[in-house]
Amino acid sequence: EPEVTQTPSHQVTQMGQEVILRCVPISNHLYFYWYRQILGQKVEFLVSFYNNEISEKSEIFDDQFSVERPDGSNFTLKIRSTKLEDSAMYFCASSPDRAPNSPLHFGNGTRLTVT
Amino acid sequence: AQSVAQPEDQVNVAEGNPLTVKCTYSVSGNPYLFWYVQYPNRGLQFLLKYITGDNLVKGSYGFEAEFNKSQTSFHLKKPSALVSDSALYFCAVRDDVEYGNKLVFGAGTILRVKS
């Protein structure tokens, strides 16, 4: 069964550094998402992306965050200047279409640790 | 805005007993409801979704969910729990009126099944 893949599985960075989290969504999916989860708690929506532009973003997704689909397969989340509070699990997800009953398919996440 | 409540942080059941994990929701329009499961250090796996007209929905691993419109609930159930069902369970909702294609997740419920 096709999967969403994320790399790296764990990223350690120093405060103020830039990080790029990478995702390869399921190949025929059109909608892409980033969520984050702090310490196994609530899963929070960050951003959704369709047709090479942001569809929706949350209050968390401020100017320090950006997303990009640099080629036909990768979907990246960049944090320009990391803060301690950015430490979390970051999950990429994709869905095949905009139908409201389409579930999201999640990757296994990247654990970001900011020191 | 859509929201989801999972009133129990943790549910404990004995193996072989029935289990229920509770979820209530709030939406402006029609609800599109989902259950996901998360095992340690893994992403969220889709379990099942509400299908309009079917108040009892069957999903993966023997799980089912009961939709109740008057109580705005979508409780997850299983007739006979397994130790391997122990995990973190998330209810999620999408609203077709305020539909920005994101899923909004509840806070999660830890299910512990003891042998």
- pLDDT tens, chain A, 115 aa long: 779 999 999 999 999 999 999 999 999 999 999 999 998 788 999 999 998 999 999 999 999 999 999 887 899 999 999 999 999 999 999 999 888 889 999 999 999 999 9
Place B100 in a pLDDT band, splitting at 50, 70 and 90. Answer: low
Place B92 in a pLDDT band, splitting at 50, 70 and 90. Answer: very high
> Chain A residues with CB inside 8 Å of B34's CB?
103
pLDDT at B34 (0 to 100): 97
| Closest chain A CA to residue B96 | A100
Q: Considering only the beta carbons, identify the residue of B43, B88, B94 that sits closest to A108.
A: B43
The CA-to-CA distance between both ends of chain B, in Å, stands at 41
From residue B21, alpha-carbon distances to A58, A83, B87, B91, B106 in Å are: 28, 35, 12, 9, 12
pLDDT at B65 (0 to 100): 97
Place B99 in a pLDDT band, splitting at 50, 70 and 90. Answer: low
> Chain A residues with CB inside 8 Å of B50's CB?
101
Chain B contact present for A4, CB below 8 A = yes
Give the pLDDT mean for B43-53: 91
Q: What is the largest CA-CA distance in chain A?
A: 40
Start-end of H helices in B5-111: none
pLDDT at B1 > cutoff 70: yes
B44 and A43 within 8 Å at the Cβ level: the answer is: yes
pLDDT at B42 (0 to 100): 87
pLDDT at A79 (0 to 100): 98
Q: Secondary structure of chain A in the HEC alphabet?
A: CCCCEEECCEEEECCCCCEEEEEECCCCCCEEEEEEECCCCCEEEEEEEECCEEEEECCCCCCCEEEECCCCCCEEEEECCCCHHHCEEEEEEEECCCCCCCCCEECCCEEEEEC
pLDDT at B98 (0 to 100): 61
